[in-house]
């Protein structure tokens, strides 16, 4: 699916009610596989040598820097306590 279509679907906001769910799914994931195949060629998937976007690299850098054992234990105590 193109980026324009993704942005248009996001701009619509949340569904008005559950009745629109089927329409949304058909619009988001068309059954016509030709549309899906033309969106990306098979060589574009999982391009491991390709450099990651800077925002992704920064996210993982920060995550690996700050998510220490002590941090995880603190969050477990904070969110998993049965208080």
24-30 long-range Cβ contacts below 8 angstroms, 24+ apart: 28/1, 29/1, 30/1
Q: Are residues 1 and 41 both part of a single domain?
A: yes
- The DSSP letter of residue 20 is G
Distance (Å, whole) CA 17 – CA 35: 28
Q: Are residues 43 and 3 both part of a single domain?
A: yes
pLDDT per residue as tens digits for the range 36-68: 556 677 777 777 888 888 999 999 999 999 889
State how many domains the chain has: 2
The domain of 59 spans: 51-83
**pTM of the complete model beyond 0.75:** no
Q: Are residues 55 and 37 both part of a single domain?
A: no
Instruction: Give the pLDDT band (50/70/90) at residue 83.
Output: confident
Side-chain-facing half-sphere of 18: CA atoms under 13 Å: 0
Which tokens sit at 81? 């306590």
Q: Are residues 1 and 33 both part of a single domain?
A: yes
Q: Are residues 56 and 81 both part of a single domain?
A: yes
Q: Are residues 27 and 12 both part of a single domain?
A: yes
């Amino acid at each position: 699916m193109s980026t324009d279509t993704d942005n248009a679907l996001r701009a619509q906001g949340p569904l008005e009610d559950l009745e629109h769910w089927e329409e949304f799914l058909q619009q988001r994931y068309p059954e016509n596989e030709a549309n899906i195949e033309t969106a990306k060629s098979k060589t574009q998937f999982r391009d491991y040598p390709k450099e990651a976007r800077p925002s992704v690299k920064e996210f993982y850098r920060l995550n690996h820097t700050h998510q220490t054992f002590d941090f995880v234990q603190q969050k477990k105590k904070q969110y998993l306590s049965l208080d």
